[in-house]
Structure 1
């Protein structure tokens, strides 16, 4: 049985994930830049903003309050907007790249649309892939706090 081009592509990506050779591991996110060698390195100015966001969240600030604080400081969003969206801040707080890890295979393309994958067997975790901006302890504490806040909001309904 022959594979379709889509299936071949998916198999090739999966193989590169498993071997640790996928270029997707070095996809840049806010707080990092790419070295000439193609490796992720910390952008000191943006890294300070990442730390600011994580610490403000852990100190009880809502996503809206963090957005307002960033605007008051004159820190533009990753897309250059004056105001950071709550969604952008929430995604930043959930991004494991800030602890130096990379998870490959978090999404699948179905009919041309990226869909979040919940199949852990297709995901590959690369620990200590690049320099960390925050500690695993802070990252894990933020994930617990996000979960607690969402539970509290659901219970209030």
Structure 2
């Protein structure tokens, strides 16, 4: 439902509000959703049955300290690791829509009368 609502034009926050109103529980059992949770779902390759290995790594196994892998170790993309939840076509349509929406808006902060205000400038770019 999340992927379809996004393709229908709803924003991340609109989808989060809808799930909150429907009292759908998050992975941690909460009933309150936010837009960043929806973004994580929309960009997670595990929903199509794939996985990226070594997104994080253990720095110190005694202290159990983990870090995001920002190029320190190689990452591996594993396809068809498990049964997909959504189709790959739907997933890739959402990724294209995300790029399209990101291209449309460009935020710029300007200072006026001592206050910082946000202006949204529209731009067109190739997707």
TM-score where L is the length of structure 2: 0.71
SS at match of 2:105: helix
Q: Deviations over 1:96-115 (max 9, x none)?
A: 00100111022345684522
Which has the higher Rg, Structure 1 or Structure 2? 2
Instruction: Tell me, yes or no, if the aligned pair for 1:105 and 1:117 is still in contact at 8 Å.
Output: no
Aligned to 2:100: 148
Unpaired segments ≥5 residues, structure 2: 108-119, 122-127
TM-score where L is the length of structure 1: 0.59
Aligned to 2:125: none
Q: Deviations over 1:63-116 (max 9, x none)?
A: 111011112212122122221121111001100001001110223456845224
User: How many pairs were matched up?
Assistant: 105
Q: What is the RMSD computed on CA atoms of the aligned residues?
A: 2.1
Which structure would you say has the larger RCO, counting Cα contacts within 8 Å and 6 or more residues apart? 1
Unpaired segments ≥5 residues, structure 1: 1-51
- The 5 Å alignment of 1:45-64 reads 52-64=1-13
Distance in 2 between residues matched to 1:95 and 1:118, nearest whole Å: 19
1:107 aligns with 2:60: no
Instruction: Tell me, yes or no, if the aligned pair for 1:108 and 1:117 is still in contact at 8 Å.
Output: no
Q: Deviations over 1:30-77 (max 9, x none)?
A: xxxxxxxxxxxxxxxxxxxxxx11111111110111011112212122
Q: Which has the higher strand share?
A: 2
Q: 2:27 aligns with which of 78, 81, 86?
A: 78
SS at match of 2:52: strand
1:98 aligns with 2:47: yes
